[in-house]
Amino acid sequence: MDSDKMATTPFVTAEWLKARIAAPDIVVLDGSWYLPAQARDAAAEYRAGHIPGAVRFDIDAMSDGTSGLPHMLPRPEVFAARMGALGIGDGAQIVVYDGLGLFSAPRVRWMLQVFGARDAAILEGGFPAWVAAGGPVEDGEGRAREPRPFTARLDNGAVADAQDVARALESGSAQVVDARSGPRFRGEEAEPRPGVRPGHMPGARNVHYSALQAGGRLKEPDALRAVFAENGVDPGKPVITTCGSGVTAAIVSLALESLGRPARALYDGSWSEWGSDPERPVATGA
């Protein structure tokens, strides 16, 4: 981002974006994605209204369609081709938002950064904040952009697999922080995906993503530190984030980053992989 974006934050404000929306190097992505229980249609909402010029970034369409797991990262060359086809090229200043304020945009930004777009930012407060600030809105399918070359280089160190998580739990080399709700973490609720056992990884800690935000925005740093402390997480020590399918784990990663303590990695397979593997241990309870 240019020099008048604060380098210490992963966010830009609605006012910042309003002043630059017409700049040729700014690309806005609507990264809205919803859980089935939220009963919202991201594609329909995009057609009903989005930030002018925003490109719809469909997390499912941009993920690995050959995997039996949801939202897994695709191969770099596949991601590069899909980004290029959307008209997003190297050097673009990317701003991501979602329809809830802060839900799926962190996952989109994480994907972008993992593949090399390090300067991608999140619109603070998302689409609701844009509308509240009087930002213009357009409807329809959106304007097609000319294809551009996008170079994707995977940062393998930012992506954890099941073996990485197992080693961290066994050795204590990193804290594994699960963003799912308390009832799901404790195994009190059935998992929404067939064949996935309820419970959590033995030794994991639970920080529900909703505890880290208020009004569609991250809480203030002191409040974030308090939430982590209450749940036995030390931001000063290495963290691997996880959740149900790798989306809300990125909110925990974002909160740690905002405290100047970026997570070591995000477990891409998350509980969808671990909980469906009979060889992996599962714990229930607090």
Residues catalogued as catalytic: 243
- CB count, 10 Å around CB of 226? 13
Token pair belonging to 137:
């809105």
* 50 in Cβ contact with 76 (< 8 Å): no
With vertex at residue 113, the alpha carbon angle to CA 109 and CA 118, rounded to the nearest 5 degrees, is 110
Buried b (16+ CB within 10 A) or exposed e, 87-111: bbbeebbbbbbbbbbbbbbbbbbbb
Rounded to whole angstroms, how far apart are CA atoms 17 and 27?
Answer: 10
213-214 and 217-218 beta bridge pairing: antiparallel
Pairwise CA distance, residues 57 & 76, whole Å: 16
Strands (E), the chain: 11-12, 26-30, 55-56, 93-97, 121-123, 159-160, 175-178, 205-206, 213-214, 217-218, 239-242, 265-267
Contact indicator for 201, 169 with CB cutoff of 8 Å: yes
CA distance 97 to 129: 10
**Nearest 10 degrees: CA dihedral of 64, 108, 101, 222?**
120
Decide: helix, strand or coil at residue 75. coil
Q: What are phi and psi of 26, to 5 degrees?
A: -90, 125
